[in-house]
């Protein structure tokens, strides 16, 4: 996991912005002069502070909002819908302090990032159960949090110690952004961006189907062995991150996304994803056929098979489904990343 001592190299502000907004478009940089135009845009995030008899409601685009429709944390979803927002947090007064208090009381010196993360999530879940905290979307409601050991094992499986992982995204015939993680001594020791990658590879052609071999060879020559590398166009990955089960498998099959080398966990994940996609389609079809009673008793057996296939996913392997979680969040987001730097500002002041 990235720690304060991790060396981060080779990102300019633009390439870092592209990488972050790929998975978190709501964090896109906003120009100072554009603040007033954002007030009318849909989306954004809602923050409600409440106690028994009053509430304060703030919206990331619109500022303070009236709270006349507020009916308590159980009505957060309806309240957020009223303000055209799909992301919301409601906190009882004092809950934030209680959260930090609980985390501080449980942390030990030397706890790693995974332990801290599970402790924060655990304390947040407790507050949610007590009615002091409500989140929208409801993340994993009713599902137990994965223990730290599961997260750590999943991380070990994805990027073993002493290995490297690479992501290179292309756009307009050039390297758009990149992320190379080097794991040593149990933590991510180096994070490299596109500048650092290009220093190792030299100029690239801009086509992931050809450039992936050059990048792989350059990384293998200067860094620990590459566990896996993902090469694609930015637009393809952006669409896949919001996609349906099976899209990743399809993209791999038609070489819209290249993975080299292909790690076993990813092969299983994408295979299961394809199977799950097929299962979703089968269940839809069966639903229609059952409604018309066309298949009779045979339909129950078919449905059982489809359900089994649908359950075979990455959750069984890692303990949770990170891509599924991300896709569900991104599908809700209406924010689009600020794709381009608005360009150069005025160079010299006009002087009278």
Partner 1 sequence: MDPLCAAVVRLPTLSLGRWAPCLQALRALGFNAVDLPLVWRDHAEEDGTFNLGRGTLDLAAMLHAVRAAGLKLVVRAGPFGLPQSPGGGVPEAVLRDPRCQLRTRRGNPCLTLHGGALVPLPDPASEAYRRAARSWVQALARRLAEPAREGLLTRFIVGHGPDPGLHHEPSEASLGQHLLESAREEGLPESALAATGSLLEPLQGGVTVAAAPPPHAGSTALWRALRAALARAPSLHLDLRSGGPVFERPTLPAHTEEVARLALAAGVRSYSVFLGCAGSGWVGALLDEEGSPRPPAARWRALNALAASLPTGRELCVALPPRPDRDLQAPFGALLGWAGLRAPEPGGDPGREAEGALSRRALPWRRAPDPEAPTVEALEALAPEVRPEGAALTRVVEASGELFLVALNRSEGAASVGPGPRARWRAGGASAEGFVTLGPGAVGVFSLASAEVSE
Q: Does the N-terminal peptide bond of residue 131 adopt cis geometry, omega within 30 degrees of 0?
A: no
On whether the CB atoms of residues 226 and 164 are closer than 8 A, the answer is: yes
List the one residue from 12, 41, 156, 207 that touches partner 1 (CB under 8 A).
Answer: 12
Residue nearer to partner 1 on the CB measure, 142 or 350: 350
User: What does the buried/exposed string (b/e) look like for 261-279 if buried means 16 or more CB atoms within 10 Å of the residue's CB?
Assistant: eebebbeebbebbbbbbbb
x/- string (CB under 8 A) for partner 1, residues 112-151?
-x--x---x-------------------------------
Residue (58 or 217) nearer to partner 1, CB: 58
State the CB neighbour count (10 A cutoff) for residue 201.
20
- The piece of 35-43, 150-158, 171-179, 218-226 that touches partner 1 (CB under 8 A) is 35-43
- Per CB under 8 A, which region of 106-114, 142-150, 156-164, 310-318 contacts partner 1? 106-114
Q: x/- contact string, 215-254, with partner 1 (CB under 8 A)? A: ----------------------------------------
Q: Which residue has the tokens 């596109």?
A: 194
* Nearest residue (CB) to partner 1, 10 versus 246: 10
Q: Which stretch binds partner 1 (CB under 8 A): 4-12, 174-182, 255-263, 326-334?
A: 4-12
Rounded CA separation 270/277 (Å): 10
Listed residue (157, 110, 102, 193) closest to 320, CA to CA:
157
Nearest to 159 by CA among 327, 2, 328: 2
Alpha helices in 223-297 (DSSP H): 234-241, 247-253, 264-291
The least distance separating partner 1 from the CB of residue 235, rounded to whole angstroms, comes to 19
- # binding residues, partner 1 (CB under 8 A): 67
Q: Which residue has the tokens 């006009």?
A: 350
Q: Exposed (0-12), middle (13-18) or buried (19+): which is 258, by Cβ within 10 Å? A: buried
By C-beta, is 195 or 244 nearer to partner 1?
Answer: 195
Q: Does position 195 bind partner 1 by CB under 8 A?
A: yes
**Is 121 in contact with 151 (CB distance < 8 Å)?**
no
Paired strand residues for 92: 50
DSSP 52: S
344 scored as a contact of partner 1 (CB under 8 A):
yes
Residue 301 within binding range of partner 1, rule CB under 8 A = no
Least Å from the CB of residue 313 to partner 1: 30
Position 64 contacts partner 1 (CB under 8 A): yes
What is the pairing mode between strands 257-259 and 2-9?
Answer: unpaired
- Tokens representing 261 are 């080398």
Q: Is 161 in the site for partner 1 (CB under 8 A)?
A: no
Q: How far apart are CA 334 and CA 114, in angstroms?
A: 30
Binding mask 304-343 for partner 1 (x = CB under 8 A): ----------------------------------x--xxx
CB-wise, 60 or 299, nearer to partner 1? 60
Q: Residue numbers of the site for partner 1 (CB under 8 A)? A: 2-14, 16-17, 20-21, 27, 29-36, 39, 47, 49, 56, 58-60, 62-64, 93, 96-97, 100-101, 103-105, 107, 109, 113, 116, 120, 191, 193, 195-196, 199, 338, 341-352
């Amino acid at each position: 996991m990235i720690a304060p001592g991790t060396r981060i190299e080779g990102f300019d502000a633009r390439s870092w912005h592209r990488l972050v907004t790929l998975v978190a478009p709501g964090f896109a940089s906003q120009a100072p002069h554009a603040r007033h135009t954002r007030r009318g845009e849909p989306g954004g995030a809602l923050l409600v502070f409440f106690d028994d008899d009053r509430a304060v409601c703030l919206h990331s685009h619109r500022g303070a909002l009236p709270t006349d429709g507020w009916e308590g944390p159980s009505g957060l979803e309806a309240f957020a819908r009223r303000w055209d927002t799909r992301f919301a947090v409601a906190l009882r007064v004092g809950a934030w302090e209680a959260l930090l208090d609980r985390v501080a009381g449980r942390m030990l010196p030397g706890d790693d990032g995974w332990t801290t993360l599970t402790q924060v999530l655990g304390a947040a879940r407790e507050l949610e159960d007590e009615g002091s905290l409500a989140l929208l979307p409801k993340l994993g409601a009713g599902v137990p949090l994965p223990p730290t050991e599961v997260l750590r094992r999943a991380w070990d499986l994805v990027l073993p110690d002493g290995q490297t992982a690479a992501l290179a995204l292309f756009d307009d015939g050039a390297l758009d952004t990149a992320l190379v993680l080097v794991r040593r001594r149990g933590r991510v020791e180096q994070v490299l961006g596109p500048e650092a990658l290009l220093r190792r590879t030299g100029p690239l052609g801009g086509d992931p189907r050809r450039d992936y071999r050059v990048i792989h060879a350059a990384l293998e020559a200067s860094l620990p062995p590459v566990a896996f590398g993902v090469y694609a166009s930015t637009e393809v990955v952006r669409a896949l991150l919001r996609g349906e089960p099976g899209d990743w498998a399809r993209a791999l099959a038609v070489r819209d996304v290249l993975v080299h080398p292909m790690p076993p966990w990813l092969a299983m994940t994408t295979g299961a994803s394809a199977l799950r996609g097929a299962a979703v389609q089968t269940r839809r079809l069966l639903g229609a056929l059952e409604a018309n009673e066309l298949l009779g008793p045979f339909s129950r057996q078919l449905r059982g098979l489809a359900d089994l296939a649908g359950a075979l996913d990455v959750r069984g392997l890692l303990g949770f489904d990170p891509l599924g979680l991300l896709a569900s969040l991104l599908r809700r987001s209406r924010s689009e990343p600020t794709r381009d730097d608005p360009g150069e500002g005025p160079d010299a002041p006009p002087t009278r």
